[in-house]
Structure 1
Amino acid sequence: MLIGGSWGLSSASLKEHSGTRFLGSHAMLTMGNRNSKKEKEKEHIVSMMFNLAKQSGMIPDIGIDESLVKFSGLNSAAQLKSYSSDLLRDLEGKAPDYVTNLGSALTTFKHVPNAVGLGALVISVMLDLIIRSLAEEQHSDSTLNMVRRVFGEEKASGIRDSMDEYIKRLSMHVNDPLKALEETECLEKQLSDQLTRLRNSMLHEDQMSTRSMKHWTNGAAFHLQMLVHSARLKMAVNNSSCEMDLQGHVTSVSTVTDFYQKHLHELLEKYTSYKRSTISIIMIVVSRLLLPCSRLATIYLVWDRETELYAETSLSGSRRCQEVPSDVYFDYMLS
């Protein structure tokens, strides 16, 4: 009678106790399944709301422009060749009489020195200008529109003005490495100063916004490419192939890159906190009295007070009345 004697439990009470424990475990399991089901429903709602927000253009865009990315890699020369070939094919289909003129321009650009990196980007801008003058049309995704895509209709932006001015100046001196170097060194310092001011205003002066973040990320990427192009021009002007000179330039650019990575991390932390304060999930339960059917319905709204945009969806039946905290949606958006 170890059990009965030690614990005061009979065989009957043991069975009853064991049954109770089993039922309790079963209840906990059932509750766990219900919670799991609720979580899955919540995830489904969040996923659906995210897709609706994406379709409505509500997802924040602070990325680097595709043209800048395209001509910043090690294969920028190949990208320029591909870009010019696409322009030629497009023009041939729409304005065949002008193909000869564009072909002559392409031949001229083949002899441009340092036609890689920003050099390649500038040549693509010049080609876009020629296309616009010949075919009297302009594609929104052209390199020529890069600055406008990044800055939109911003009325006053020193970063935009410096980038715009540099593209124009480098286009003017595309065949003169010495003059191109002078312009690069002058405008590089100017852009660097403007980026520092913008970063400090976001971090320390409560001026954080999606627009400012996009300006900074694109400006910083552009500035790094200016430094790379400056090093390339210096090597060309000095007719240097010295490994020590090259390593000095590489170290200089790497140092600035490390600074920008640190700054980007700080800015992203601040930006994430900022967006958490602007994005809200609003749930509205619609009464049966307002519906032709007898079931309740729930309307979910994703609202961003920064952009004043919203997306909505409605659910009824088993998926209704599932509360979705704003943080859950925000975490899903960042994942």
Structure 2
Amino acid sequence: MILMGRTLCLPSPATVQELFSVARDASIIPDISLDPVLTTFLSLDSSAALQHQYAFLQRSMSGEQQAAFGLNLTGELGGSSRVTCGGVGVVALALSVLFEQVAHQVRAQRSTEGDPSAQRSRAKRIFGISSSSRIGWIIHSYLRRVPGDANNQEKMAETTELHDNWLKLELIDHYERMTTKKRMGSESMQQWLAGAAFHLHMRIHQVRLNSVPLGSAESLRLSYKTAFGRLVQGYTAYLHRNIQETPGARKPRSRTAGGLGQTNTFSRTNMTCLPNHIFNDSLANISTETATPNSTADINRSCETDISSEDFGRNVSNRSDVVKRKTLNNMSGYSSDDGVQGLLVIEPCRNVSHKVQHHPCESPAIQQALVTRIMNAQDLERNRNFFQFAEKVLHSLLRQRDDFELKTN
């Protein structure tokens, strides 16, 4: 007798939840949300956030370390203890990065004494994206320049205009690759989102510097608001195409000379995508030397090479700085029954084997349900709000003029 009807091929909510939990525990659920460091410092709360970070770092140091911290910072700021607009937007973000870098160097000074290169190691990821990508490189380059240029309005305007143009062109190219050349992916979404958020606040700072008219920032905001909506639709379609699932199956137990066969209760995870670093890890160890991006470097789409298939930024010329992506094999148990393992694929290089059992015809519905669960897990509302704030908020951002002054305890 052949069973027919929709009931047979609709999975239970428990099955969907179990598979989502398998993926979550294996760390293969993508996260395309804006890094909280960006949303904190590119906001009206930037000055308070920077003051809090500076005070916290000082409290965590000994008296000798505090003295070295202040001396090194003064040197990085060209001998000044005051930074024009230091508590505002991209300048506050640049100082935040600098504080973390110098604090790390001061704490590591004894262990790395006599080995300057140990203190100049480049962060592999910044604000959730690869620093070896083209977008990551431009952001990193600008943040390095800001502390030394901030007190010279003309120089600051030139630096911001130069990097604004670079980032604008790269974001246009990146968007085209994602929407027309089938380069959509979680990593590329993160890169575009971080780049667009940073670029918008670079433009806002240019308005503060009287380099561009107010309408330029508002036009850019509206453009990114529209682009973000389209990219979310494209990313959802991308997940629909890529998420695949096959169920686990029972296998008859066989007796051996020693009794019942042993049961393997583990699932194997195979992935190469790296998780976002926490606040300190994303900012510390940023190089004081910026590599030049290689605009002609090929993108290697193999999962086991240095650059993942979703990292569409160009390689930097110094290959030792490139993120080393290695296959991670994590073991996690989900079933006590021996049997044939199923497979759950979220996107290329993000998959996990499992032993969740269900009827094979339920897989298509499970795949659709997992897309919904994954998209609901993203903080899309916060990302969307970043580009659709009210006009009065934009004017409040433009009126920010808080300087920052180094203080000793």
* TM-score where L is the length of structure 2: 0.59
1:46 touches 1:332 (CA, 8 Å); kept in 2?
no
Query: Could you tell me how far 1:59 is from its partner in structure 2?
Result: 1.0
Q: Indicate whether 1:151 and 2:104 are aligned.
A: no
Stretch deviating more after TM superposition (282-291 or 116-125): 282-291
Single out whichever of 209-218 and 144-153 deviates more from structure 2: 144-153
Deviations 1:82-125 (A, max 9, x none): 11122122224xxx421233356678876211111111111112
Q: 1:162 aligns with which of 138, 154, 169?
A: 138
Q: Is the 8 A contact 1:71 1:120 kept in 2?
A: yes
> Displacement, 1:306?
1.0
Contact 2:243 2:347 in 1 (8 A): yes
- Partner AA of 1:129 in structure 2: Q
Is residue 2:106 matched to residue 1:128?
A: no
1:205 is matched with: 181
CA 1:224–1:253: 2 relative to 1, 3 Å: same
Contact 2:29-2:346 at 8 Å conserved across structures: no
In 2, the alpha carbon distance for the partners of 1:153 and 1:169 equals: 16
Residues 197-244 of structure 1 deviation map (CA, whole Å, 9 limit, x = unaligned): 110111112222222111111110110010111112228xxxxxxxxx
> Counterparts of 2:70 and 2:83 in 1: how far apart (Å)?
15
Among 83, 94, 105, the alignment partner of 1:112 is: 83
Q: Are the equivalent residues in 2 in contact too, given 1:49–1:313 (CA < 8 A)?
A: no
Structure 2 counterpart of 1:99: 66
Q: Structure 2: which 5+ residue stretches go unaligned?
A: 1-6, 110-121, 262-336, 377-409
Q: Cα distance, 1:151 vs. partner?
A: 3.2
The CA distance in 1 between the partners of 2:338 and 2:194, in whole Å, is 47
Give the Å deviation of 1:305.
4.3
Answer yes or no: is the 8 Å Cα contact 2:177–2:183 preserved in 1.
yes
User: Do 1:67 and 1:146's aligned partners in 2 also have CA atoms closer than 8 Å?
Assistant: no
Residue aligning to 1:221: 197
State the one-letter code of the partner of 2:64.
D
The reply to whether residue 63 of structure 1 matches residue 33 of structure 2 is: yes
Distance 1:330 1:130 in 2: 42
What code does the residue aligned with 2:101 have? L
Higher relative contact order (CA 8 A, sep 6+): 2
Structure 1 position 189 matched with structure 2 position 165: yes
SS at 2:150's partner residue?
A: coil
Q: Matches of 2:341 and 2:359 in 1, distance apart?
A: 9
Amino acid at match of 2:346: D
The equivalent of 1:272 in structure 2 is 236
Q: 1:307 maps to what in 2?
A: 349
1:13 counterpart residue number: none
Partner of 1:78: 48
Q: 1:89 to 1:206 in 2, by over 3 A?
A: same
- Whole-angstrom distance in 2 between the partners of 1:136 and 1:222: 30
Aligned match of 1:334: 375
Q: Residue type of the partner of 2:186?
A: T
For 1:66 and 1:58, the matched residues in 2 are separated by 20
Per-residue deviation at 1:301? 3.5
**Alignment length, in residue pairs?**
273
Report if aligned partners of 2:35, 2:128 keep a CA contact under 8 Å in 1.
yes
Bigger CA drift: 192-201 or 56-65? Answer: 56-65
Q: Which residue of 1 aligns with 2:389?
A: none
Gaps of 5+ in 1: 1-34, 138-143, 236-244
1:47 aligns with 2:47: no
Instruction: Tell me if structure 2 keeps the 8 A contact 1:114–1:233.
Output: no
Q: How does 1:235-246 map to 2 (within 5 A)?
A: none
- TM-score normalised to structure 1 length: 0.71
Distance of aligned partners of 1:119 and 1:149 in 2 relative to their CA distance in 1, 3 Å threshold = closer
**CA drift at 1:127:** 1.3
Q: Deviations over 1:288-335 (max 9, x none)?
A: 346969x997855322341242152446xxxx5483431122222223
Q: Looking at CA atoms only, which structure, 1 or 2, has the larger radius of gyration?
A: 1
Structure 1 residue 256 and structure 2 residue 220: aligned?
yes
Counterpart amino acid of 1:102? F
Secondary structure of the structure 1 residue equivalent to 2:61: helix
* Residue of structure 2 aligned with 1:284, choices 248, 260, 264: 248
Taking the aligned partners of 2:346 and 2:25, their CA distance within structure 1 comes to 14
Instruction: Please give the per-residue CA displacement for 1:246-281, whole angstroms capped at 9, x wherever unaligned.
Output: xx51x3312211111111111111111112222112
